[in-house]
Amino acid sequence: DTGVSQNPRHKITKRGQNVTFRCDPISEHNRLYWYRQTLGQGPEFLTYFQNEAQLEKSRLLSDRFSAERPKGSFSTLEIQRTEQGDSAMYLCASSLRRQVQETQYFGPGTRLLVL
């Protein structure tokens, strides 16, 4: 069990550019979550997948954001036409739905800076 991994760990981009982040969950975990964390705040829920199906999206997830989880394995989060307000830490977590009281395990995050 290697834990949740995220790539890249850091990303600096110019306003208006598109960026894509990747999350590899713990193997066999069927649920995958994306959160956003801004400076001085707790993580905020963005969206979650059960297997390959995206079952919930927060109001925080604007039309510029899209997430996928093909084949129910890794997931990608893409931000189009980035804005300075998108600068944040993007966290991925995974869990196993089979557990009655599931636990979300978090990756190290991708820190995005939009100039």
Closest CA to 24 of 41, 4, 8: 4
- Which residue type, as a one-letter code, is found at position 26? I
Region from 12-20, 67-75, 79-87, 88-96 binding another protein, contact rule CB under 8 A: 88-96
Q: Quick one: CA dihedral 98, 67, 114, 39, positive or negative?
A: negative
Paired residues of 58 in beta bridges: none
Beta bridge partners of 36: 44, 90
Position 95, amino acid: S
Q: Which of 56, 68, 78, 83 binds another protein (CB under 8 A)?
A: 56
Per-residue tokens: 108? 């190290």
Shortest Cβ 81–another protein spacing (Å): 25
Is residue 35 at the binding interface for another protein, with CB under 8 A as the rule? yes
Q: How far is the CB of 43 from another protein (least distance, A)?
A: 5
**Which region, judged by CB under 8 A, interacts with another protein, from 13-21, 61-69, 70-78, 98-106?**
98-106
Residues that bind another protein (CB under 8 A): 4, 6, 31, 33, 35, 40-45, 48, 50, 55-56, 58, 91, 93, 95, 97, 99-109, 111
